[in-house]
């Protein structure tokens, strides 16, 4: 009898061990599918594990991660809620939960769950500090983020947190002074070099940014000055409105009046689009430019396409600009590439060109580099080449060089 009982216990143990081995093997297959970015198969295998053993909270957290990687944050949070209700002290749960809230831009909720995580024994100080500072940045509570990191200076040795700290200090600076200069050189020095410069001052009042600028141009032995103002108003839903007005002093190079209005809005997966119009009142002509843009972040790259449709007394023209920026590990440094076709009076380098030139062809390429030299100072340098039409089927080469200095305070 004792021998029979012993055999029965060993048999049950063997069955349980085999079942557990099969479940673990199934979970390993799910992990392999996730590493291969075969997310549907990963979820399918993981769901089978949960069906066989509903206590596997580690598998539910894994499923929350897989759904989050696919940007299905609602389903991800359903699995997070299931685990939290059963095991609120699960450290893996908080690793995932904090990421999901950050990726879904639920910054207020993120701050709340950071406190919950600490209360329930999650003690990864680095992750908690980083996530809290990122939440303050997302909420545009820059001063609060700076004060928080100042209270945790021992973690500023981390490169990521140091970058974030500098970005918060940069964003908290509500005032900016910029100075820009560009020179256009032509083959055979005909015409003589064209010069364009401006200084501007930027400040913000709550959700509105004001930029006061004064442009100066010297071309064809003529100079002109144009004061202007840009206004950016940010809405709570991530949309923003741009408005511009400028006027020429001498009306020799710049238009007498320029007016612009453009509405920007995010959509889809890191896309941004806009639609707007510009009006230019020259001494002898009125010009309307319809424009907009489509942009998208891809990893650390920003890609943007902006078309221009110019209307003047029934003579219409089309031009476009493509921009690509590859960012460093901070929000300031980047390498830029600009490709352009055609001319538009909205292109800053064309502000002071004769208005008739916008109906001529032009092909442009420009490279630029923007970098910080401290947390409050930036420099941008650029160089480009333009192959442009100066009269019907007659072209010339133009080389441009520019520099921008920016100081935040």
Q: Which two tokens stand for residue 103?
A: 């990726």
Residues in contact with 115: Cβ distance below 8 Å, sequence separation at least 6, in sequence order = none
Helix axes 159-172, 142-150, angle to 10 degrees: 140
CA distances from 211 to 199, 244, 274 (A): 10, 9, 20
CA distances from 17 to 7, 10, 53, 204, 278 (A): 15, 10, 13, 65, 73
CA distances from 107 to 110, 111, 113, 133, 134 (A): 5, 6, 10, 10, 8
> What confidence category does residue 261 fall into, taking pLDDT thresholds of 50, 70 and 90?
very high
> What confidence category does residue 211 fall into, taking pLDDT thresholds of 50, 70 and 90?
very high
- CATH number given to 2-123: 1.25.40.10
Tally the residues of the chain. Answer: 409
Asked whether residue 50 carries a pLDDT value surpassing 50, the answer given is yes
Q: 152 or 386: which carries more pLDDT confidence?
A: 386
Least confident piece of the model among 15-29, 150-164, 348-362: 348-362
182 and 198 Cβ atoms separated by less than 8 Å: no
181 and 402 Cβ atoms separated by less than 8 Å: yes
Q: 218 or 284: which carries more pLDDT confidence?
A: 218
> What pLDDT score does 328 carry?
87
The residue with tokens 């303050």 is 136
The Cα–Cα gap between 301 and 324 comes to: 7
> What pLDDT score does 21 carry?
53
Expressed in percent and rounded to 5, the helix, strand and coil fractions of the chain are: 40, 40, 20
Q: Which CATH code, of 2.40.160.40, 2.60.40.1930, 1.10.1740.10, 3.30.1600.10, is assigned to 173-408?
A: 2.40.160.40
The Cα–Cα gap between 323 and 347 comes to: 13
Q: Is the pTM of this model over 0.85?
A: no
Residues 21, 22, 27, 31, Cα dihedral to 10°: 90
Q: What percent of the chain has pLDDT over 90?
A: 57
Q: Can you tell me whether residue 217 is helix, strand or coil?
A: strand
193 and 218 Cβ atoms separated by less than 8 Å: no
Asked whether residue 352 carries a pLDDT value surpassing 60, the answer given is no
220 and 202 Cβ atoms separated by less than 8 Å: no
Q: Of 306, 259, 289, 282, whose CA–CA distance to 356 is shortest?
A: 282
Q: Are strands 286-298 and 271-281 parallel, antiparallel or unpaired?
A: antiparallel
Summarize pLDDT for 131-167 with one digit per residue, the tens. 999 999 888 888 888 889 888 777 777 778 887 887 7
Mean pLDDT, rounded, for 286-306 = 92
**Beta-carbon count within 10 A of 157 CB:** 8
The Cα–Cα gap between 6 and 317 comes to: 92
Q: Of 233, 181, 131, whose CA–CA distance to 405 is shortest?
A: 181
Asked whether residue 220 carries a pLDDT value surpassing 50, the answer given is yes
Mean pLDDT, rounded, for 194-216 = 94
Asked whether residue 7 carries a pLDDT value surpassing 80, the answer given is no
Q: Of 148, 156, 155, 154, whose CA–CA distance to 172 is shortest?
A: 148
Asked whether residue 233 carries a pLDDT value surpassing 50, the answer given is yes
| Beta bridge pairs of residue 313 | none
Q: How far apart are the first and last CA of the chain?
A: 88
Domain ranges of the chain: 2-123, 173-408
Q: 362 or 236: which carries more pLDDT confidence?
A: 362
């Amino acid at each position: 009898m004792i021998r029979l009982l012993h055999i029965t216990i060993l048999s049950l143990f063997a069955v349980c061990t085999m079942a557990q081995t099969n479940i673990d093997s199934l979970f390993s297959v799910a992990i392999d599918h996730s590493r291969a970015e075969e997310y549907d198969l990963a979820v399918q295998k993981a769901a089978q594990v949960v069906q066989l053993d509903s206590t596997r909270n580690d598998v539910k957290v894994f499923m929350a991660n897989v759904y989050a990687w696919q940007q299905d944050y609602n389903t991800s949070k359903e699995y997070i809620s299931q685990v939290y209700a059963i095991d609120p002290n699960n450290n893996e749960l908080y690793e995932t939960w904090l990421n999901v809230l950050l990726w879904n831009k639920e910054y207020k909720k993120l701050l709340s769950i950071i406190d919950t995580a600490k209360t329930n024994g999650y003690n990864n100080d680095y992750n908690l500090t980083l996530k809290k500072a990122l939440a303050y940045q997302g909420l545009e509570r820059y001063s609060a983020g700076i004060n928080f990191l100042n209270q945790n200076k021992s973690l500023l040795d981390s490169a990521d947190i140091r970058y974030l700290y500098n970005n918060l200090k940069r964003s908290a600076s509500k005032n900016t002074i910029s100075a820009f200069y560009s020179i256009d050189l032509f083959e055979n020095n005909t015409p003589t070099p064209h010069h364009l410069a401006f200084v501007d001052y930027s400040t913000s009042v709550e959700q509105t940014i004001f930029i006061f600028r004064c442009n100066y141009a010297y071309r064809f032995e003529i100079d002109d000055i144009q004061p202007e103002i840009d206004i950016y108003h940010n809405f709570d839903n991530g949309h923003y409105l741009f408005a511009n007005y400028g006027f020429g002093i001498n009306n020799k190079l710049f238009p007498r009046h320029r007016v612009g209005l453009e509405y920007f809005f995010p959509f889809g997966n890191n896309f941004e689009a806009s639609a707007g119009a510009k009006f230019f009142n020259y001494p002898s002509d009125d010009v309307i430019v319809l424009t907009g843009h489509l942009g998208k972040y891809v990893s650390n790259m920003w890609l943007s396409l902006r078309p221009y449709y110019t209307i003047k007394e029934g003579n219409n023209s089309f031009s476009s600009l493509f921009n690509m920026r590859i960012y460093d590990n901070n929000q300031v440094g980047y390498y830029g590439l600009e490709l352009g076709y055609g001319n538009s009076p909205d292109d800053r380098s064309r502000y002071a060109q004769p208005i008739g030139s916008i109906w001529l062809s032009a092909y442009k390429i420009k490279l630029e580099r923007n970098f910080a030299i401290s947390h409050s100072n930036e420099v941008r340098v650029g160089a480009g080449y333009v192959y442009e039409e100066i009269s019907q089927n007659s072209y010339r080469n133009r080389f441009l060089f520019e520099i921008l200095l920016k100081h935040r305070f």
